[in-house]
Structure 1
C-alpha cells in the first residue's frame, strides 16, 4: 500500500519537503466518515503512486500539526505541493469526486 502515516515530528520531512504532491488525510479513529474515506484514499494512493503520495495524520495523536493547519472538521483532506497547501476537500466523498477535485495533481 502506498499510503503513509505522518506525525507532528515528521510532517515537514514527509509532506512539506516531498518532491511530489502529497494528499494529506486528517482523520481520527472514532470518526465514521473518516473510516468511509480511508479505503478511497488508499485506492487513490495505489493507483496514482507515481504522481502523488497519500499521507494520513491522526488528529488525536498529532494535535500540533492539526492545530497548525486549522483542522476543525474531519475528515479534511489537503493537497500540498512544493511545501504549500494547494487544495482542500472536507468530508467523505466518492473516489470519482476526489479524482475530479484533485485532477491537477493526479494527471
Structure 2
C-alpha cells in the first residue's frame, strides 16, 4: 500500500476501517459526507486544512455516506456533515454540522481532552 502524505485526508471504507481507524497509532477524525450535500462540500476544504494543521497528531479520514452506508449506520449518522473522533480504537466524541475551522478544531480538542489525549 502506498504511503500517504502527512496531513492528507484519505477515504475510509468498511474494508479498511479496522486498519485506518481502530488500529491507528494516532487519534482519528472521521468526516461523514455526501456529494449531494452542499454543507459537506463547503466544509471539505476546512477539514483538509485542519488535517494539514494537525498532521502527525491526528489522522483525518472521510467516509461517503452513500458509498459506506454500513459505516454511517454503525455511527448513527443520519445527517451530514457528521464527525466522529476515535482515540485508542474507540469513539470518544462526535458532532454534526459544518463550522469554521477554529470551531472544528475546538470540538476535536475537546473530544481528545475528554478522552485523556493531550494535545
**TM-score normalised to the size of structure 1?**
0.94
Query: Partner of 1:102: helix, strand, or coil?
Result: helix
> What is the alpha-carbon root mean square deviation over aligned residues?
1.3
Q: Structure 1 CA distance, aligned partners of 2:108 and 2:14?
A: 24
Partner of 2:104: 98
Once the two structures are superposed, residues 33-88 of structure 1 have per-residue CA deviations (whole angstroms, 9 ceiling, x without a partner) of 10111111100111111100110000100111111111111110010001111111
Higher RCO (CA 8 Å, separation ≥ 6 residues): 1
Query: Partner of 2:79: helix, strand, or coil?
Result: coil
Partner of 2:4: none
* Residue 51 of structure 2 is aligned to residue 41 of structure 1: no
For these two proteins, the number of residue pairs brought into alignment is: 107
2:18 alignment partner, one of 1, 12, 16:
12
**TM-score normalised to the size of structure 2?**
0.85
Structure 2, unpaired ranges of 5+: 1-6, 113-117
Partner of 2:115: none
Q: Which runs of 4+ in 1 moved over 2 A?
A: 104-107
Q: Structure 1 CA distance, aligned partners of 2:75 and 2:93?
A: 13
| Structure possessing the higher radius of gyration over alpha carbons | 2
Q: Structure 2 CA distance, aligned partners of 1:69 and 1:95?
A: 23
